[in-house]
Structure 1
Amino acid sequence: MTDITLHTKSKSTVTCVSNTFIDEYMADANGEFVKIYLYLLRCINAAENFSISKMADKFDHTEKDIKRALKYWEKKHLLQLEYNSGEQLTGICLCEPVSAVTQDSEHAEKPTEASSVDIRPSYTKDQILSFQNDEASSDLLFIIERYIGHPLSIKDYETILYWSDELKFSTDLIEYLVESCVDNGHKSIRYMDKIALSWSASSIRTAEDARRSSSAYKQTHYGVMKAFGISGRKLAEYELELIDKWTSQFGFTLDIISEACKRTLQATNQPSFQYADTILENWHKCNIHHLEDIAILDTAYKKSKASSSRNVTVNKTAANRFNNFSQRTYNFEQLEKQLLNN
């Protein structure tokens, strides 16, 4: 494994952690991923070369674990991975964390991009103030601040007002939304907003609807954790997103997802969500809906593999010119006697 040059766009010469990272990125990330990112911040000042293997030894992880963490932070635009022509990782460039407000303003300038899909009203200061002063809303905002452990920002007020004004969420539903997210270790309003949009798309309008939906959602989470043998930690955001993809986008039930998890462990000896995702994507393309469909697919695959193996054997035999001669067996003891008699 080659050494990797770690460098940064920041001119800072001390180890410091951005408030933006703490406020908007850290809460949603896997704890191990946070450790890796903080270690990169520490190492950047020494300007030393290091390798994935050295970092893996430092944290008693596998190299795949380290790469997974790096790719997660690259996806969040907190770093850039640099490769040479041989696709070897040669550099890691740390980027300045960008706040959600800055990202939203950048996206607003590009109406043709993805942000145009989720067009939200622009609330005035008077509208936000009116929302804050409303008795029911005031109590709700106080409860939310108690849950998340810090005062709400203007951006947070706008988001919560959007839930109430546009999504037509009741105060009970919003309170349950915040409560359930915090119980699952997610205190970010941005994360809660994703859940709110998902609920709205699923026509969830009451807290009772949300409880029923969350109950089924949690059962799937626990089922996946049990199938993978995961305990002692909560699922990371990207893992939750994959489970949501398997259930919502692919429409798979827990028994099929658990089968994919089992096969993943058999193939990799570790709970790889990416590997399971590959299996489930293939099953989705093959229109798998029940466990019986998987058995039929397995049988067809084995037959195809056996047929392919026979064809290879026949071809190898045909290609060998010495097989044109008839095969003979010899009694070597008899031949030896004949030679001695001569």
Structure 2
Amino acid sequence: MSTFMFKKSSSDYTPVSNVFIEKYMPRARGEFVKVYLLALKYCIHGELGVNSSLMASTLHLLESDIMNAWNYWNEEGVVKFTPIDKMGNFNIEFVDLTEDSQKTGNEVNLLEELTNNSTKDMLHEIEKLVSRPLASKEMSTYISWQRDLSFSPEIILLLIEYCASKGKCDYRYIEKVALAWHDNNIKTIEQAQAFIKKHEDKWVKYKKILSYLGIKDGEIMKPQEDMLDKWVNSYAFPVEVIQKACDICFERLNRADFKYIDAILSSWYKDGLKTIQDIQTKDRKSTFKKAVPHKSQNDNFNNFEQRVYDYDSLEKKLLGWDK
């Protein structure tokens, strides 16, 4: 159960911005609107906060519906939804939407853009790809890519289809991929397809390594991804060499440790070892050196040629019998 703390002064009525009614409400799901209006009422009338269980009970919704609503309105820029702690509590600040209506310049005029059939078709296809209705902010962003990133509708659809195929339909993730494509100067479908192939070829190797370690690719963090990139691209190690380092890590630590594996591979790279054969050759040399004992100083005594004595002759000399 989560608690939501409001930041607003008290009043005797609940004003709802016309900007919210005209721009944001028509595209939102009904339960999201209900959550917004009830919370706005609590906030305006001086409630310090309310928990998700009470809101869900009042609106006959699930607590997950309440959280989805807040995430939606946060994405839309209608509220600022920020965590207070790690216990599932949040601050909610209602944004003054009158400023939204005063924005000018290069922002997309969504109502005007939606009169364009090709734009409407593109947005409709995107909704099918991500399996959900698009927020106004998302629609404006996707439309603006045609102008700001020089993406055609076909490239935008290919990009979102690619993200959806990876199970990544989050708006922020899609935007991150779009910026990466733009940074790589992708302007045509052919360039986009080549970029996807190159990226996928890289991740095929990553997934083999992660699978060998028993880790899902969605579970790794950026520092671990950077290490994978170093092993595969900077060091140019074959997958089997990286797996050999993983074996050594398991033998010594009985667990997967990226830093330990990185230390092994960095040592091999420094020594110029590139293949399994190189590693095995070095191991054999090391084993041979250990197997041959070092000669001690006492061993030098045995290296002298020993003298041979005639004991009978010596005895006669000692007894004086030789005379």
- TM-score normalised by L of structure 2: 0.49
Bigger RCO (CA 8 Å, 6+ sep): 1
TM-score by length of 1: 0.46
